[in-house]
Copies of this chain bind each other. A is one copy, B any other.
């Protein structure tokens, strides 16, 4: 057991912050949280205690949708909408990952950036290339960061140079799964079934990916209803489906296994019903949606319906891998809907947005994302002394950190109980 004393802030529920000023957090030797306390219980006084002074300790961030091979394009090439953006900028960049040396160079930086930004959990799209995807897994294992990585499946409506076959992607999923069961037996690094999106995956491929997800009991991630032209195209390609999400459902990729669907900017009522009934989690990516002009996802509406929502940066359509920026944009996009509804649609509160970036994403990993007993100890130690030059409350300090803070303020990082040092890059 080890005890930390710090200003503890987390969101076990979305409606309010839980704040313990100079509280105590006890971590068991297996890396799970024993409890948090306003004053230290007698039975814990025998354990080593580290006083972090006036620093804040918050849960690590969970980026639930990010494309590792697009790291080089981050902050670039944001002048096209989704479909031309893919063809013009993204596919050519992803093609470079057939070269393991290139992959290693970019992926080292990507993993380092996650560490730097305090993103202890991530759910990652790789490329169609198995060797590069396994290499990315190795780099994650080396770093201590927890993640789920998917080798991408795509075999239609995409360049020859960036496609794989159904057999290749199914074998890749199984191979990576077996590899990780040996190399990361505690499940810190896992694989996830990752069809790119309906337009680039034949029915055969979707079916086989659904089947392997079921056989190996793996999660599923993809894209859904991001852009109007994309939705119209899916309707053309799959005219018998009741909605875009229904295509995934037909093939066992829509909640039959735990499922993340990025975007859902323009989901119809029918699609939302299906999402909710099937317990699919929507990954909201507000930076991406603004940058490539997809639209403003009505996340408040989805939350009010009881749909699970988490948050992603979606680099490189998102321009920044900081989950602080994702929090800020999620609130701002929700204020657009507030304005459009003349104040009828409440915008996201600070605690709600923080919940989406920590607790909501963490659920997908198990007991992760807040400081409840039994939860895995993911935490960041934040030194905000530069921002905290006046008598701010702890909640105000956190809010200023969201809007004004950056990686410089993160002094220490813990993932599943282990303190992480800076990865080489």
* Residues of chain A whose beta carbon lies under 8 Å from any beta carbon of chain B: 72, 74-76, 78-79, 81, 109, 290-296, 319-320, 328, 331-332, 335-336, 338-339, 343, 347, 349, 387, 389-390, 392, 396, 399-400, 402-404, 406, 408
Contact = CB atoms under 8 A, between A and B. Distances in A.
Contact of A402 (B75, B335, B402, B406): B75
Nearest to A404: B75
12 contacts: A74-B403, A75-B399, A76-B396, A76-B403, A79-B349, A81-B343, A109-B389, A290-B332, A293-B335, A294-B339, A319-B404, A320-B403
Contacts of A343: 81
A134 to B, nearest CB: 23
B293 A339 contact: yes
In the A-B complex, the 10 residue pairs with the smallest Cβ-Cβ separation, listed nearest first, are A75-B403, A75-B400, A319-B403, A293-B335, A75-B404, A290-B332, A293-B339, A293-B338, A72-B390, A76-B399
Contacts of A390: 72
A74 B404 contact: yes
A105 to B, nearest CB: 8
A291 B400 contact: no
Contacts of A75: 387, 399-400, 402-404
Contacts of A338: 293
A343 B403 CA distance: 31
Given A72-B390, A290-B335, A389-B109, A406 B406 contact: yes
A396 B76 CA distance: 7
A228 B402 CA distance: 28
B291 A335 contact: yes
A401 to B, nearest CB: 8
Contacts of A349: 79
B336 A296 contact: yes
B347 A293 contact: yes
Contacts of A295: 339
A412 to B, nearest CB: 20
A390 to B, nearest CB: 6
A317 to B, nearest CB: 12
Nearest to A350: B79
A79 B408 CA distance: 27
Contacts of A399: 75-76
Contact of A336 (B290, B387, B389): B290
A74 B335 CA distance: 18
